[in-house]
Amino acid sequence: MRKFWVFTPFVAFLVMGVFLYKGLFMDPSKLPSALIDRPFPSFSLPSLYEPDQLMTEADFKGEVALLNVWATWCPTCKEEHEQLNKIGLREGVPIYGLNYKDDPQLARDWLQRYEDPYTKVVVDRDGRLGLDLGVYGAPETYILDSDGIIRYRHVGEVDEKVWQKLKGLMEIIAAEGEA
């Protein structure tokens, strides 16, 4: 019994060590979404290309897709744009765009200049939908399943490494839907 107690400080040290070690590789700026496994918030906002046409959350249903929150004022969005082009145009994965707190004209110009990887783009000019979605830093990329349920959120740039992870998750979610 006594011998056992001698080891308690060491055990406590190990436990703390494990937690602190894990902490080294955690990014505190990455928050879990409060909306995981919840339906995409309802909205009624204009489409970027046809401003008279209102889009709703029903437009984001039908297939497993990415939803990318972006803006022309966001430098990281520009950095990841090439990757999005690759995903959307070369690999043919549907990406819905959410143009967040931006000038629609600037957004249209941007997509003309850098190519448009999005299947649909909704304009959230005053950030109301972004607020409902819990967006706290563009760019953010979500995975929606075919019922429009939010399944995953990634905050920050989507690069090849992140994309491979998202792709794997999308395949799992798609397989789930078929089963």
Partner 1 sequence: MKLTLLPLLLCLLSFPLWASFETYEFSTTHNEMRYFHLSKELRCPTCQNQNISDSDAPLAADLRRELHRMIESGYDDDAILDFMVSRFGDFVHYRPRVAPETYLLWYGPFVLLFVGFGAVLMVARNRRLRAAAVQDAQVTDTAEESAGVTPLTPQERERLENLLRQDKNL
Lookup result for tokens 């143009």: 99
Does position 156 bind partner 1 by CB under 8 A? no
Candidates 39, 104, 134, 148; binder of partner 1 (CB under 8 A) is 134
- The distance of closest approach from Cβ of residue 1 to partner 1 in the complex, given in angstroms and rounded to an integer, is 10
Cα–Cα distance between 46 and 53 in angstroms, integer?
A: 6
Distance of CA 4 to the CA centre of its chain: 49
Cα–Cα distance between 87 and 157 in angstroms, integer?
A: 13
- The distance of closest approach from Cβ of residue 28 to partner 1 in the complex, given in angstroms and rounded to an integer, is 7
Lookup result for tokens 């972004």: 130
Does position 9 bind partner 1 by CB under 8 A? no
Candidates 61, 101, 120, 125; binder of partner 1 (CB under 8 A) is 101
**Cβ proximity to partner 1, 31 vs 175, nearer residue:** 31
CA angle at residue 113 from 107 to 118, to 5 degrees?
Answer: 60
Candidates 133, 150, 166, 170; binder of partner 1 (CB under 8 A) is 133
Partner residues linked to 121 by β-bridges: 97
| The one segment of 32-40, 81-89, 115-123, 161-169 that binds partner 1 by CB under 8 A | 32-40
- The distance of closest approach from Cβ of residue 148 to partner 1 in the complex, given in angstroms and rounded to an integer, is 17
User: Count of alpha carbons within 13 Å of 108, Cβ hemisphere only?
Assistant: 9
- The distance of closest approach from Cβ of residue 36 to partner 1 in the complex, given in angstroms and rounded to an integer, is 10
Cα–Cα distance between 137 and 93 in angstroms, integer?
A: 23
Give the other-Cβ count within 10 Å of 151's Cβ.
Answer: 19
**Cβ proximity to partner 1, 87 vs 123, nearer residue:** 123
Does position 136 bind partner 1 by CB under 8 A? yes
**Cβ proximity to partner 1, 116 vs 124, nearer residue:** 124
Q: Name residues whose C-beta falls within 8 Å of residue 177's C-beta, 6 or more positions apart in sequence.
A: 64, 145, 146
Does position 13 bind partner 1 by CB under 8 A? no
Cα–Cα distance between 59 and 96 in angstroms, integer?
A: 9
Binding residues for partner 1 (CB under 8 A)? 28-29, 31-35, 101, 127, 130-137
